[in-house]
Structure 1
């Protein structure tokens, strides 16, 4: 991902928030047969306060990726969406795409079976907890034999990135008036491109920019 200093994300707390909010990630490896990509849910390592992530792949994806032997690129895709030139006013303009994305690279560590079980348990709990009647991994009708058989079909990993490239392209090159219009259009729901998650990211970024220069906020509440 080509970096632009105006759009760079460097704050560790913000990076952790984006990673935590967007757990469905793309894993990319360079293999002897060319590039290979897989898609899995990945979480921040709860025992670390940096950008270390934990996850799993199903066998034989571990062998295909050379997991633990080669560099792995993990792509975190945050909110993104189309920005119409009609939202800029009566000036020459073209469309663009606003987005938030984080790239984490490094050679992952392979987890032990017990560590992998804990990660699998966390993954299930993370997503089931939002339901009125969550079905946790160790809960009946699952039994220990079933859960351990499930674990044996996966390979867990921990990745402490040695390279991080993060980009937040959210109309930072536009005036406050245009930014407020874009946010309103994304929140209005009248167009097929309305997206409250993207508008919330824009509010968050531009409120920080305006606070730094002593200006008023965008209004509303950032997520």
Structure 2
């Protein structure tokens, strides 16, 4: 994922929020037969306060990925959507796609059966908790033999990334008026956008504007603010 300083995310707390809110992730590695990708739910490791994540794969995906032996890329995809040039100020413009994505890479650690079981319990609890009547992993009709058999059919992993690439492309290269109009259009509903995208844009731009206002106050009246950085070229 090509980086651009205007779109880069480095704040650990913000990255953890993105990972926590988007647990359905893509796992990519280079196996004996070339590139392979799998899709699994992945969670932040609750024993760490960094970007360490835990998850599992079903057998034989562990062998296909060379889990624990080779580098693994874990991709979290946040809110994203198509942005029409009709929503921009008058003039020549091109359509684009706004998105949030985080790439974590490193060689994962294989979990013990007990650690893997705890991850499986957390995964079930995480997603069942939003239902009216949650059914946890150990609840009947599941019994211990059934749960242990499930665990033996999976391989758990913990990844403490050695490389993190995170990007939040949310119209930071557009004037405030255009950003506000894009948010309005997204909130009105779009067939090609995650409904959360407008909120993600609003969150990002409130932070940007607060930082800009703080810089103006710091400079004081009558002082010239530093020249803004050149705006990045729109990415399709």
TM, length-normalised to structure 2: 0.89
1:33 CA drift (Å): 1.1
CA contact (8 A) 1:9 1:166 kept: yes
Asked if 1:126 corresponds to 2:145, the answer is: no
Unaligned runs of 5+ in 1: 216-223
Match of 1:221 in 2: none
Q: 1:69 to 1:101 in 2, by over 3 A?
A: same
Tell me, in whole angstroms, the C-alpha distance in 2 between the residues paired with 1:59 and 1:38: 12
Q: Does the CA-based 8 Å contact 2:83-2:96 persist in structure 1? A: yes
Deviation for aligned residue 1:58: 0.0
Q: What is the CA–CA distance in structure 1 between the aligned matches of 2:32 and 2:115, rounded to whole Å?
A: 29
Retained in 1: the 8 A contact 2:73–2:103? yes
Computed over aligned residues only, the root mean square deviation of the Cα atoms, in angstroms, reads 0.9
User: What is the TM-score with the length of structure 1 in the denominator?
Assistant: 0.94
Which residue is 2:5 aligned to?
Answer: 5
Per-residue CA shift, 1:66-94, capped at 9, x if unaligned? 00000000000000000000000321001
Once residues 193 and 30 of structure 2 are traced to their aligned partners in structure 1, the CA distance between those partners, rounded to angstroms, is 36
Corresponding position: 1:209 with 2:182? no
Counterpart for residue 66 of structure 1 = 66
Equivalent residue number for residue 24 of structure 1: 24
State the partner residue of 1:163. 163
| Aligned residue in 2 for 1:196 | 195
Q: CA deviation at 1:214?
A: 1.1
Whose radius of gyration is greater, 1 or 2? 2
Q: Which residue of 1 aligns with 2:53?
A: 53
- CA distance in structure 2 between the aligned counterparts of 1:66 and 1:79, rounded to whole angstroms: 30
Number of matched pairs: 214
Tell me the CA shift for residue 194 of structure 1.
Answer: 5.3
Shift of 1:213: 1.0
Query: What is the rounded CA distance, in whole Å, between the counterparts of 2:75 and 2:193 in structure 1?
Result: 24
